[in-house]
Amino acid sequence: MPEPDRWHRVAALTDLREGEVFATRLGELELALVRIDGTVHAFDDVCTHEYASLSQGFLEGGEIECPLHGARFDVVTGRCLAPPAERDLRVFPVRIEGGDVYVGVTAPG
Amino acid sequence: MFLRNYWYVAASDSEIGRKPFGRLILGEPIVFFRTEDGTPVAFEDRCAHRHLPLSMGRLVGDRLQCHYHGLQYDRTGQCVRIPGQDQIPSTAKVKTYPVVERYRWVWIWMGDPALADPAKITDFHWLDDPSWGAKSSYLHVKSNWQLVVDNLLDLTHLAFVHETTIGNAALAEHAVVKVTRAPNNVVVTRWIIDQPAPPTFVKVGGFTTNVDRWQIIDFVPPAFLRLDVGATPTGTGAPQGKRVGGITMRNLNAITPETEKTSHYFWGQAHDFDVKNAELTQKIFEQIQTAFYEDVAVFSAQQRNLDLIPNPPQIDINADTGVIQARRILDRLYDEEQAALHATAAE
């Protein structure tokens, strides 16, 4: 992952509960955050198949299942694991500072 | 698509008495009656002789007599009298169904009778529990049963279909929705925290502060939806499971397929406050009933379109999460039941 252009504060660490998905927005971006074994991961909240909020889906282990059509993604790597989605999910680097969660965003292209 | 190895609600307890009562369930004509000691009995509603519905006949003691040629069947479905003939063929009998009376409803088992365990009946105790006030009723629906299940799993329709009755904008705008699932269960939980109580809640709950409100939809296959709705004063701990100083109501739904395109819709409303106040029970019931008439109009209109264009393409939106999970469970259970049937047939 290249060094991001900018870091944005998106949540307080206390907003995130182990095993639950926290959804937020960063401008146009719909962002999902999860905390797994203490580590925070950030990914695009919109399924790569059709519009659906993955944060309303099912987080099981390190995988999230789309609530509508059952596509599955690895929340750490963004890898697409099950159809009908075919493309991987965009994931973002995370930095924790002073109890706040920052997400790094690189302009596409 | 019908699931057979399940208990379904066949009738309310008052529908079945000493006059034979016919009802079509999962496409099968069934006649119900009570024996002299009050036990409900269910037969196939077709005389083994010339196919007249036995529901057109009458009871002679505990025997059901066909209206056509007077054949009489005992409570086991065995023909025990043929007028003008002493010998009764061993094949002169009608199919019987396991039935159980519970929660003011009569339940029927539509599958393999050997599997009919009354312990599998879905819990609806709120309808006859003295610590609740309750009233139940029946609606005939001109649509496939799954459209009714869909409706109850996505309550965002309240703001539109029930705009002038039980709808409330806060439900759509301020709610946090969570769907949880188990192999045979879907639960849709909606919390509205620290908002003013709707007028109807203020009236019965006497709230003077903002409230925490919940709507918890519990789906059990094939078509049981038990809704837990209520409110407590904000900050008293309801989201953490401690309900004090508030009100709770249960909206209870049991849908029984009649045909692929029509359904029996049994429902009731229960409340945990002022439980002996029959006038209040009636008032709450009527309010919900008005809303349910609005739903029934939606179901038949949907079915008319589905009849014109079978299996049309459709889009899914975020609010469909519960609906889709429930349909996935039903599809899996149907496949499992069919596979088991074919395995048995192959033996």
Residue A85 and residue A66 in contact, taking contact as beta carbons nearer than 8 Å: yes
Nearest to B42 by CA among B69, B15, B67, B68: B15
Closest Cα in chain B, distance from residue A105 (Å): 26
Q: Do B318 and A50 touch (CB under 8 A)?
A: no
- Mutant choice from B316, B317, B329 vs A, greatest count of A C-beta within 10 A: B316
- For residue A67, give how far its alpha carbon lies from the nearest alpha carbon of chain B (Å): 5
Q: Are B299 and B171 in contact (CB under 8 A)?
A: no
Q: Which of A49, A50, A68 to mutate to test the interface with B (most CBs of B within 10 A)?
A: A68
Grade residue B170 by pLDDT with cuts at 50, 70 and 90. low
Nearest to A70 by CA among B328, B298, B22: B328
CA–CA distance, B202 with B231 (Å, rounded to integer):
10
Are B324 and A50 a contacting pair at CB < 8 A?
no
State the ipTM, two decimals: 0.83
B150-160, pLDDT tens digit by residue? 999 998 888 88
Q: Please tell me the predicted confidence (pLDDT) of residue B174.
A: 64
The larger pLDDT score, comparing residue B9 to residue B155, is at B9
**Are A68 and B316 in contact (CB < 8 Å)?**
yes
Q: How big is the A-B interface in CB pairs under 8 Å?
A: 24
**Nearest partner of A41 among A66, A67, A15, A21, judged by Cα:** A21
Encode pLDDT of B196-216 as tens digits: 888 778 888 889 999 999 999
User: Which residues lie closer than 8 Å to B191 by C-beta, 6 or more apart?
Assistant: B175, B176, B212, B213, B214, B239
**Residue A105: pLDDT band by 50, 70, 90 thresholds?**
confident
How far is residue B39's CA from residue B35's CA, in Å, rounded to a whole number? 5
CB A16 within 8 A of CB A40: yes
Nearest chain A CA: its distance from B318 CA (Å):
6
Give me B19's structure tokens. Answer: 């006059």
Q: Residue B1 is which amino acid?
A: M
Nearest CA-CA partner of B224 in B191, B247, B192, B250: B250
Residue of A nearest to B324 (CA): A68
* Tens digit of each residue's pLDDT (9 = 90 or more) over B44-100: 999 999 999 999 999 999 999 999 999 999 999 999 999 999 999 999 999 999 999
CB B32 within 8 A of CB B94: no
Cis peptide before B83 (omega within 30 of 0): no
Chain A residues with CB inside 8 Å of B324's CB? 67-69
Edge to edge, the sheet with strand A80-82 lists A58-60, A63-65, A72-74, A80-82
How far is Cα A104 from Cα B3, in angstroms, rounded to an integer?
A: 51
User: Chain A contacts of B326, Cβ < 8 Å?
Assistant: none
- Chosen from B318, B327, B328, B331 to mutate, greatest number of chain A CBs within 10 A: B318
Give the residue-averaged pLDDT of B135-153: 97
CA distance A93 to chain B (A): 27
Tens-digit pLDDT profile for residues A45-97: 999 999 999 999 999 989 999 999 999 999 999 999 999 999 999 999 999 99
State how far Cα B225 lies from the chain centre: 8
Q: What amino acid is encoded at B228 in this protein?
A: D
Could you tell me the maximum CA-CA distance found in chain B, to the nearest angstrom?
A: 78
- Per the CB < 8 Å rule, is B318 touching A69? no
Nearest CA in chain B to A55: B178
Confidence category of residue B293, pLDDT binned at 50, 70, 90: very high
Residues of chain B contacting residue A69, judged by C-beta atoms under 8 Å apart: 316, 324
Q: Determine the distance in angstroms separating the CA of B320 from the nearest CA of chain A, rounded to an integer.
A: 7
Q: Is the peptide bond before B222 cis (omega within 30 degrees of 0)?
A: yes
State how beta strands A63-65 and A72-74 pair.
antiparallel
